Structure 1
Amino acid sequence: MTQQILRHSKARKQTITTTPSRPYKIGIMSVEKPKVVFVLGGPGAGKGTQCSKIVDRFQFTHLSAGDLLREERSREGSEFGNLIEDYIRNGKIVPVEVTCSLLENAMKASGKSRFLVDGFPRNQDNLDGWNRQMSEKVDMQFVLFFDCSEDVCVQRCLGRGQSGSGRTDDNMDSLKKRIQTYNNDSLPIIKFFEGAGQVKRIDASPDADQVFGEVERVFLTSGF
């Protein structure tokens, strides 16, 4: 599998296409492409909390790129466990081939058709990798962007760490690196989607219920 990842990483980068959604076939049955909403925002913006509410209200399946990576890191016998641990501890972004493979496997295993992809794509390499591996397999709806001040994000993450979140990156050293990575790598991706008219911006500073009121409005007006 490592050789396959290396081959993918050398593939020529592509840009987003506007190819219309087409059904793909499994055996003799025609199945519509799964609908995907990207969920982006800084560390501590409340993405996980809001995704849980969306799952309950709109019957989406929540796929957290970070959670999938942490699960793979902890899985006994994983050939990528040490690599993922090193990237997460240093606030860096895990190679896209690993993340896309985990996301695709999770979609297939769920048997569902609506997905929240939380915390992805986080940089240009993520976006290019998604386009190579996944863009023709899914119907991307929009980007749900939780916009929150850095101070609020820091307070939330540190509070989460003190309450025993079990995450090795809920500490100040890792948090500074994560915020820097977000500002340098993720914000340009959000701006790219925004320029394409695909971003639904949510003010994530208020309490969770108030934020979800805005989220609910977005999904209802989008046909869900």
Structure 2
Amino acid sequence: MKPFVVFVLGGPGAGKGTQCERIVQKYGYTHLSAGDLLRDERKKPDSQYGELIESYIRDGRIVPVEITISLLQRAMEQTMALDGNKHKFLIDGFPRNEDNLQGWERTMNGKADVSFVLFFDCDNETCIERCLERGKSSGRSDDNRESLEKRIQTYLQSTRPIIDLYEKTGKVKKVDASKSVDEVFTKVQDIFDREG
């Protein structure tokens, strides 16, 4: 069985991870965060990509697509190998740009079905405040104002056009992510109850 994929996009701090946790609990998806996979990979002492990933993340730049897709593909394959019923995936924070999208289509075409894009729409200042708050306890090297401003610029220049592209195909399900966690999840449930 091919993986059934929902791309989860939104600016840094839009609540992607928080909402994905709830979707996993209620709908049985497996949550794959492109960022978490990259952060985990860079910590592995034997990783051939560790230092490269670290420099990209620290500078708020997008990691080369081949690395990200190989990590996503490996994670999906491992999950499905462990449990054949686990074929529904939330891929959070990907595709982040045109290169990511083309890389996905090149590598995963026919190997995974993208159902829709769940887009958490949130204003930049709310996103920054949430990340700064998270940064107090997350230990993430990119939860500081300087990195965040770079990340938001990257998001606006690179990821928003991808969302716009998917919007033209009718695949975007947009949620106002500036609301409370519970209010946002109510809207998310409406979408998943309809879409799967």
Coarse TM-score class (shorter-chain normalised): over 0.9
SS in 2 for 1:100: helix
How far apart in 1 are the matches of 2:92 and 2:15? 11
How far apart in 2 are the matches of 1:218 and 1:202? 9
Larger CA deviation: 57-66 vs 130-139: 130-139
Structure 1: which 5+ residue stretches go unaligned? 1-31
| Structure number with higher relative contact order (C-alpha < 8 Å, ≥ 6 residues apart) | 2
How far apart in 1 are the matches of 2:133 and 2:76? 32
User: 1:33 offset after TM fit, Å?
Assistant: 1.4
1:93-172 → structure 2 map (5 Å cutoff): 93-111=62-80, 112-162=86-136, 164-172=137-145
Q: Which residue identity is paired with 1:87?
A: Y
TM-score when normalising by structure 1:
0.84
Structure 2: which 5+ residue stretches go unaligned? 81-85
Q: Which runs of 4+ in 1 moved over 6 A?
A: none
Larger of the two Rg values belongs to structure: 1
1:30-50 per-position Cα deviation (integer Å, ceiling 9, x unaligned): xx3110000000000000000
Q: Which residue identity is paired with 1:34?
A: P
TM-score when normalising by structure 2:
0.96
User: 1:135 offset after TM fit, Å?
Assistant: 2.3
SS in 1 for 2:111: coil
User: 1:136 offset after TM fit, Å?
Assistant: 1.4
Tell me the percent identity.
59
How many residues align? The count is 191
1:179-198 → structure 2 map (5 Å cutoff): 179-198=152-171
Partner of 1:63: 32
Provide the alpha-carbon RMSD of the alignment.
0.6
